[in-house]
Amino acid sequence: MSEKIINCAIYTRKSTEEGLEQDFNSLDNQYEFCTNYLKSLNDANLHLLPTRYDDGGYSGGNLNRPALQRLLHDIRCGLVNRVIIYKIDRLTREIRDFFKLLDIFDKYDVEFVSVKENQYYNTTTAIGRLMVNMFLVFAQFERENAGDRIRDKIATSKAKGMWMGGCPPFGYDIGDRRLVVNETEAQNVRFIYQTFCDTHSLADTTDTVNSRGIRTKYYTTRQGRTFGGRKFSIKTVQRILQNPLYKGIVTHRDKQYPGQHDAIIDTAQFDLVQAIFAAHKDKRETRRCPKTASGGERETAALTGLIFCGCCGSAMTPSYCCKGGIRYHYYRCYRRASKLEDKCPINQIRSSELDRVVLEQVLAILKSREFFAKYVSYRREFDISTVYSLFNNLDEVWNSLFETEKHRILRELIAKVTVYKDKIVLDVKKDGLAGVFAELSQNNQLVGVEYKENKTFQISVAYRATRLANGAKIIVPATAKEESRFNGSLRLARQIAKGFVWRRQLESGLTLQELSAAEKINERDIRFAVRISMIDPAIVESVLSGKSPEFLTYAFMKKHPIPLLWSDQRKLYGFEERKIQ
């Protein structure tokens, strides 16, 4: 009977890319050393795999290395029986990561050999494991010591005003390891600063920058990966406006040093921008709303991290606004809020409304015997009387829970919530379903049950958003009775109606100054209202009847210049082209 063949894999690693271009580098040296070790054993059952697992330029401080991940994948597939390395620190410098790897090796019966420490290493004995841990302690100490040296070097270099690498900021290129002004981008940086000084608004500045076709810095790394070339978001514009690098300063740990690069923005304008930000912050502090829309002290967004926009695929993030001393909470489409997408029809939705709808569906799922029978395995013995008792008293149990407990159950059950214009899709976790059944029924026999098909199933909830008389949007079932309520942009409709009235008054001989004094409204707003009342009549009719696209609001029209041609207006505002008779 023949001996079992042992497939051996050699793993090598080098922390930096320096010297890898040489014909015989450190990785080759490690590989040859391990190969000679295998030959010295003179064992015919040892078979060296032809695949090389080389990680050049990767730190040993984590396991995110391509060759190591390929090695672990081959181990799980049963292709590797023994792993050979030059030294233990080539595999990892973290004790925690080493134990993870050791568990994988033990699970798949993989032997592990460190050639340089082979005389001390034996995973079958306690003393062998002790020696390995001792080696790893020293390896981790060496890594942390090297990290301290690198941090000290960065601090010293920044104190001299040097650029320490990375993607160059917008407005600069890299030349001779220093920042060099890119005049084309520098002009755009100055334009951003000047626009913000004129408007005092991040949103208006971002709209203006994007409308001029200015895009973020396009950058290619040494590995060939490309970044940038996209629209500016509000956060990107804010980082540019608050980065002291543009006035010739290098920062490090809240300290500022004169940089070796040329400034793009003069100190006076930079300080003016920071003063505007400080004034905005003071206003927010004085106008902070102590109450929420529900009257409580604090309103939590239960679906944070789970909710996504179904129209543009963006995450929906919690936000709020204040009106009348009350704070109203919303989930906002991130791309729309960041000015990366202008026409996403979702925009924002009241968090209390959406949380209510999702919680109602969660309760409906828990009350459904069909879901229990379909998604919780029936091949085990259950206490049926306990389960049916739970079904019969679930409303009472649910109402006795605190809101935090309901939200915790919601997050255990729901994997993802996708919001569309006419429906909400819930991805429900099957393992969470059984876990919640077990918790509510206190039946430990339900824990660890088996599941069928995929890990999740989907529920689609059809809905429509309708407006109350005060303009607030609420979510109602799609089958609910339609009410004759206005469902468009109320502010835009009011401004168009006022524009018609003001236009007649101006035509009757009233001057713009007299009208402004009588209405106590800025002349500019009167001109704009008159202007939008003169756009394509079909668009005006659609707005006044509440049938215009959701993105078409008063704010949208103010931020986008109104085209002169009706055809261009229809294209900009989301209407179909007129058919020529």
Nearest to 340 by CA among 206, 195, 228, 189: 206
User: How far are the Cα atoms of 193, 195, 308, 334 from residue 237, in angstroms, in the given order?
Assistant: 9, 11, 24, 15
Contacts of 335 (CB under 8 A, 6+ apart): 309, 312, 314, 341, 344
For 169-219, how does the pLDDT look when each residue is reduced to its tens digit (9 = 90+)?
A: 888 888 877 888 888 999 999 999 999 988 888 888 888 888 888 888 888
Q: For 338-472, where are the alpha helices, taking DSSP H only?
A: 351-366, 369-375, 384-392, 394-399, 403-413, 430-441
Secondary structure (DSSP) of 193-258: HHHHHHH--HHHHHHHHHHTT--PPPEE-TTS-EE--SPPPHHHHHHHHT-GGGGTEEEETTEEEE
Paired tokens of 539: 């668009």
Nearest to 421 by CA among 458, 379, 381, 473: 473
Count other Cβ atoms within 10 Å, centred on residue 541.
11
Ramachandran bin of 491, using left for φ above 0, alpha for ψ from -120 to 50, beta for the remaining angles? alpha
Residue 301 near residue 329 (C-beta atoms within 8 A): yes
| Residue pointed to by tokens 């004169």 | 258
* pTM reported for the whole predicted model: 0.48
- In this prediction, residue 11 carries a pLDDT of 93
Burial of 49 (0-12, 13-18, 19+ CB in 10 A): middle
C-alpha 399/C-alpha 406 separation (Å) is: 9
Contacts of 279 (CB under 8 A, 6+ apart): none
Amino acid at 208: T
C-alpha 519/C-alpha 511 separation (Å) is: 12
Q: How many angstroms from the chain centroid is the CA of residue 516?
A: 46
What is the mean pLDDT, run by run of 10 residues, along the chain of 581 residues?
78 85 85 89 87 88 89 89 87 80 84 75 62 70 81 86 83 85 90 90 87 86 78 88 89 86 89 88 63 51 80 80 74 74 71 79 69 50 54 68 75 81 78 60 39 58 57 50 55 86 88 85 86 88 80 82 86 75 49
DSSP secondary structure code for residue 315 in this structure: B
Amino acid at 218: Y
Count of alpha carbons within 13 Å of 571, Cβ hemisphere only?
A: 7
- In this prediction, residue 71 carries a pLDDT of 92
How many helices (H) and strands (E) the chain has is answered by 22, 20
Count of alpha carbons within 13 Å of 232, Cβ hemisphere only?
A: 28
Residue 330 near residue 350 (C-beta atoms within 8 A): yes
Paired tokens of 11: 């793993």
Kindly provide the residue ranges of all beta strands, DSSP E only, lying in 445-552, ordered along the sequence: 456-467, 473-477
Strand 291-292 to 326-333 pairing: parallel
User: How far are the Cα atoms of 69, 186, 217, 223 from residue 62, in angstroms, in the given order?
Assistant: 11, 39, 30, 20
C-alpha 441/C-alpha 347 separation (Å) is: 40
C-alpha 531/C-alpha 514 separation (Å) is: 18
Residue 230 near residue 306 (C-beta atoms within 8 A): no
C-alpha 276/C-alpha 200 separation (Å) is: 7
